Amino acid sequence: MKKRLKKLNLSRRNFLTGTATLAGIAATASVVPISIANANHSEGKKGLPDFINWKDRDALIVHSDKGIETHRSAIGESLITPNRNIYIRNNMPTMTDKQIGNRMDWKVSIEGVKNPKTFTLAQLQKLGHETMATILQCSGNGRGFFKHKPRGSQWKTGAAACVLWTGVPMKTVVEACGGINSDAVYMTSAGVDHVPTGLDPNKAMIERSVPKKVFKDAMLAWEMNGVPVPNAHGGPLRMVTPGYFGINNVKHLGKVAFTTKESSVKYMKKSYRISPIGKKGSQYPSCWEMPVKSWVTRPTDETGTVKSGKVQIVGVAMGGTKKVRSVKVSVDGGNSWKKAKFIGPNLGKFAWRQFVLETTLSPGNYNIASLASNGSDKQPELRMENRRGYAHNGWKDHSVNITVV
Amino acid sequence: MKILKFLLIVLLMSLFSNFKSFSDEAMMRKGLEIFNETAACAACHIFQAAGSQGNIGPNLDTVSMTFESVKEMVTYGLGVMPAFGEDEILTKEEIDIVSNYVVKSQTK
């Protein structure tokens, strides 16, 4: 017997978006293709969507118009990843300049504090000023290594970047609001990018709760690597939660509330939960703190064969919420390890460190791996199997095979 | 007699082939209908074959996909995308039809 089907619990008017609503209804009356355009994500001239046509196509792997990865060898060898090379992972459409309006008039409300207030970007810029470096990393970075092929972009190493942010420390904002309410347990940040879509906010709204303590390190950022935060990366104002996975760094920030409970929206309650394969639910841990991790960026299989003799093996290493302490490199698939040297400036515990190991390789095939430690934890050999392919920091999958000639 | 038998076989094969292509075409039309109306995939995805310009999920002409990967995505959803199978919004048959339609109609 045919099962009785549930209806979509969104009204069609609310579910459909913009002109597609009319187009969809008109088209389906006769079941012919829709012909009305309203997208701002059409493909640009360089094979990138228009909204990020300023990025470097050669540095990027396009999984979809909303899931774009940085090539392993294009992550940047100068510590900071250039904006044009940084990955894109957008759960919701990027806001347009028209939707944003005058950036200085952008508003963010602060709630769950003694004196709730709404600040414009111009007011925030008068309140305080700080610059810090953090790692942006998608929770699913490394998903492409999972054998059960979890749904979502098949990232390998390139859904990560080291970024310099300028903005006002959340601590300063909290002080300006008279302090946090005593019963608060979480800092809950909400983006406003659901507004133009007409979708049910409980399903579409990006609202993420993190433990309250994160406010001490957090920042409301308006500048990213020396330029106003691009719309595609959450401008004009983005929450930055150092040491926490990308999803918690809420884009197009409209509200920060200190709350007693975690947000009840789908993106908090159901999505981004690290559950065993075949299981799901809000009882499983949320994608919050990033684990210690590293990977080699050169040489790799992307950079071609390597000339025998002296070789510089370079990469990046991060400690998660703690300072990365050491990195070891293996050229024989993990049978033996040598300590690598950190190079470049130390931009604090939330930035990654570059490392290098100088070694001599004769012709042959090599498996190169790196293994980082933050003093308390080190990278495991294997991935932690989980349903959605989150938080992969196993060193084995992240190793690379190279040929020396 | 042999010639008649041969012609009969050719005729039957031709009818079967026409029936099959009619059936394929009907399935593709049904797939388009599910895409644009029943499941309203069009509201959230750009997809040239359906003429849709939704801008919530990925542009389906830019994604690498197989029948199995589409079927799994439609069944279980992802983020804001509903779980059309798990939440019983579409039947298994409808999921097969729309997944087949999307994979076969993709313009890359």
pLDDT of the residue at B20: 58
Asked if residue A288 is part of any domain, the answer here is no
Query: A29-65 pLDDT, tens per residue?
Result: 334 443 333 334 445 556 898 899 999 999 999 999 8
Which domains, and CATH codes, for chain B? 18-105 (1.10.760.10)
Residues A232 and A346 in one domain: no
Residues A76 and A187 in one domain: yes
Asked if residue A23 is part of any domain, the answer here is no
Distance from CA of A99 to the nearest CA of B (A): 15
The band of A22, judged by pLDDT with boundaries at 50, 70 and 90, is very low
Asked if residue A107 is part of any domain, the answer here is yes
Q: Which comes out higher in pLDDT, residue B49 or A303?
A: B49
Asked if residue A275 is part of any domain, the answer here is no
Asked if residue A78 is part of any domain, the answer here is yes
- Whether the CB of A64 is below 8 Å from some CB of chain B: the reply is yes
The band of A93, judged by pLDDT with boundaries at 50, 70 and 90, is confident
Asked if residue A113 is part of any domain, the answer here is yes
- Whether the CB of A195 is below 8 Å from some CB of chain B: the reply is no
Report how many domains make up chain A: 2
pLDDT of the residue at A77: 81
- Contact at CB, A151 and B90, closer than 8 angstroms: no
Asked if residue A21 is part of any domain, the answer here is no
Distance from CA of A381 to the nearest CA of B (A): 29
Q: Which comes out higher in pLDDT, residue B24 or B9?
A: B24
Report if pTM > 0.90: no
Least CB-CB distance to B46: which of A24, A41, A199?
Answer: A41
Rg, chain A, Cα only: 22
Q: Compute the C-alpha angle A305/A311/A314, nearest 5°.
A: 95
Q: What's the CATH number where A344 sits?
A: 2.60.40.650
Residues A313 and A234 in one domain: no
Q: Best interface-test mutation with A: which of B32, B36, B92 has the largest number of A CBs within 10 A?
A: B36
- Whether the CB of A254 is below 8 Å from some CB of chain B: the reply is no
Residues A244 and A154 in one domain: yes
| B51: chain A residues, CB-CB within 8 Å | 23, 27, 32-35
Q: Which of A42-46, A74-78, B93-97 has the lowest mean pLDDT?
A: A42-46
Residues A76 and A186 in one domain: yes
Residues A297 and A237 in one domain: no
Average pLDDT, chain A: 89
Residues A265 and A311 in one domain: no
As to burial, measured by CB atoms within 10 angstroms (0-12 exposed, 13-18 middle, 19+ buried), residue A16 is buried
- Contact at CB, B80 and A5, closer than 8 angstroms: no
Least CB-CB distance to B53: which of A5, A7, A34?
Answer: A34
Asked if residue A187 is part of any domain, the answer here is yes
pLDDT of the residue at A246: 98
Query: A198-219 pLDDT, tens per residue?
Result: 678 888 889 999 999 999 999 9
Domain residues for the domain of A318 are 293-404
Q: What was the ipTM of the complex prediction?
A: 0.76
pLDDT of the residue at A76: 80
Q: Best interface-test mutation with A: which of B27, B71, B80, B94 has the largest number of A CBs within 10 A?
A: B80
- Contact at CB, B36 and A152, closer than 8 angstroms: no
Backbone angles phi, psi at A397, to 5 degrees: -60, -30
Number of CB pairs, chain A paired with chain B, less than 8 A apart: 124
| A42: chain B residues, CB-CB within 8 Å | 46
Residues A208 and A92 in one domain: yes
Q: What's the CATH number where A198 sits?
A: 3.90.420.10
Distance from CA of B80 to the nearest CA of A (A): 5
| B36: chain A residues, CB-CB within 8 Å | 24, 27-28, 31, 33-34
Residues A103 and A226 in one domain: yes
- Whether the CB of A204 is below 8 Å from some CB of chain B: the reply is yes
| Range of A20-24, A89-93, A393-397 with top mean pLDDT | A393-397
Distance from CA of A152 to the nearest CA of B (A): 8
- Contact at CB, B40 and A24, closer than 8 angstroms: yes
- Contact at CB, A41 and B55, closer than 8 angstroms: yes
* Chain B residues within 8 Å of chain A (Cβ atoms): 29, 32-33, 36-37, 40, 42-44, 46, 49-59, 62-64, 69, 72-73, 76, 78-80, 82, 87-91
Distance from CA of B101 to the nearest CA of A (A): 13
Query: A241-296 pLDDT, tens per residue?
Result: 999 999 999 999 999 999 999 999 999 999 999 999 999 999 999 999 999 999 99
- Contact at CB, A24 and B90, closer than 8 angstroms: no
pLDDT of the residue at A25: 34
Residues A135 and A263 in one domain: yes
SS3 string of chain A? CCCCCCCCCCCHHHHCCHHHHHHHHHHHHHCCCCCCCCCCCCECCCCCEHHHCCCCHHHEEEEECCEEEECHHHCCCCCCCCHHHCCEECCCCCCCHHHHCCHHHCEEEEECECCCEEEEHHHHHHHCCEEEEEEEECCCCCHHHCCCCCCCCCCCCCCEEEEEEEEEEHHHHHHHCCCECCCCCEEEEEECCCHHHCCCHHHHCCEEEEEHHHHHCCEEEEEECCEECCHHHCCCCEEECCCECHHHCCCCEEEEEEECCCCCCHHHHCCCECCCCCCCCCCCCECCECCCEEEEEECCHHHCCECCEEEEEEEEEECCCCCCCEEEEECECCCCCEECEEECCCCCCCCCEEEEEEEEECCEEEEEEEEEECCCCECCCCCCCCCCCCCCCCCCCCCEEEEEC
- Contact at CB, B43 and A20, closer than 8 angstroms: yes
Closest CA to B102 of A77, B1, B94: B94
Residues A125 and A260 in one domain: yes
Residues A344 and A220 in one domain: no
Q: Which residue of B has its CA nearest to A7?
A: B89
